[in-house]
Amino acid sequence: MNRSKSLIVVIALLTASLDLFAQAPSTNQSAPQRLGGSGSRPERNNLNDAFYKLGPDSLPMEGVPKGKYSEPKVIKCDVYPGTQHTYWVYVPAQYDPSKPTALMVFNDGQAFMKDTGDVRVHNVLDNLIYRREIPVILGVFINPGRRPDQPEPPSAGGDWGDRTTNRPEEYNSINDKYARVIVDELLPALRKEYNISDDPEMRGIGGASSGAIAAYTVAWHRPDQFRKVFSFIGTFVNLGNRGGNTLSDLVLQTEKKPLRIYLQDGRNDNRFGSRGENPNERDWFYNNVKLANALTKKGYDLNFSWGMNNHGQKMGGAIFPEIMRWLWRDAQVVSTDRDDMVERSLRGPFQPTSETPAGSK
């Protein structure tokens, strides 16, 4: 009897470890890793990610005005008592504090703002804003909540907070609690310093893996606040028995919402089997395609790209500039007047005048 109980405990611990492993994109591409779950699976082929490279729009360009990151800011979290969120704001060189400005929120902010990372959002914003391919956008990079005694992710080993923060609970749950963090706690803090548009069509949110399902649920619960979403390798699976794999069914059962959504995933994302009756509930690619099919059937403004990538940001980062063009394609009023030399000029840095309001806002 004691031997049986010990075996059950060991299996439970291994299962919990698998859930933690699955949540964040791997940052170690040096050696193959065997995918978890039931049944036999091929080893992770790191050459799958080698095809995806950052293009010129994701790299610094000479002559392009550069924005600036704010210092890290911390807000207390009442939705998850005892925790706090750290965030940074990327302010483009063209930001005019007298004008309501578009907003894009990035979950797992530390990964999206990293200078040597797989996405390098700030370079994309600089380049596309300068060429008038997207509107002027304030980028907000928010990390998952943590207690004050917990470290800010990422850890030295590259963990995004699955083992050391509130990331699993905040990001993988499909209730409205994380939406309340963004709408009721982050937005009021931002409004104190920046002139943010009140138009939900001028607000977007995105993320990778667990950060992607979190972004989706924010817009799903609060389309009155956010109507643009992008997802890299979204964790639309039953991770931690939180029901992420049911979102596609929810789409079919619910009246269409005014959302624009871009999904990206790969055929070699996590393809775990099930520990329950549903053989596909922990298969990332299966559930991303299932969600896309449901959104298509309901007539959503949807785009998607399926590649060969593993569970990481390599493909998402490579196509991120095009994702931004697609999400924001109609957010600017375009002049067709051939004599409109402002429209035909590159968008230079904002130049304050005597009429510009004092302060950041």
DSSP-assigned letters across all residues of 34-66: B--SSS--PBP-THHHHT----GGGS--TTPPP
The answer to whether residue 338 sits within a structural domain is no
Please tell me the distance from the alpha carbon of residue 120 to that of residue 294, in angstroms, as a whole number: 31
**Total count of domains within the chain:** 1
- Residue 171: CATH number of its domain: 3.40.50.1820
57 within some domain: no
What is the distance between the alpha carbons of residues 346 and 341, in angstroms, rounded to a whole number?
10
Q: Within a domain: residue 42? A: no
State which residues form the domain around 206.
67-327
Q: Which residues are registered as beta bridge partners of 77?
A: 83
Domain presence at residue 29:
no
Question: Looking at the domain assignment, is residue 44 inside a domain?
Answer: no
DSSP state of 246: G
CA distance 179 to 108: 15
pLDDT tens digits along 195-210: 999 999 999 999 999 9
> Does pLDDT of 8 surpass 90?
no
Percent with pLDDT over 90 in the chain: 80
Model confidence, pTM: 0.89
DSSP state of 193: T
Asked whether residue 33 is domain-assigned, the answer is no
Query: pLDDT tens digits for 257-310?
Result: 999 999 999 999 999 877 777 889 999 999 999 999 999 999 999 999 999 999
Gyration radius of the chain's alpha carbons: 21
Q: Is residue 25 part of a domain?
A: no
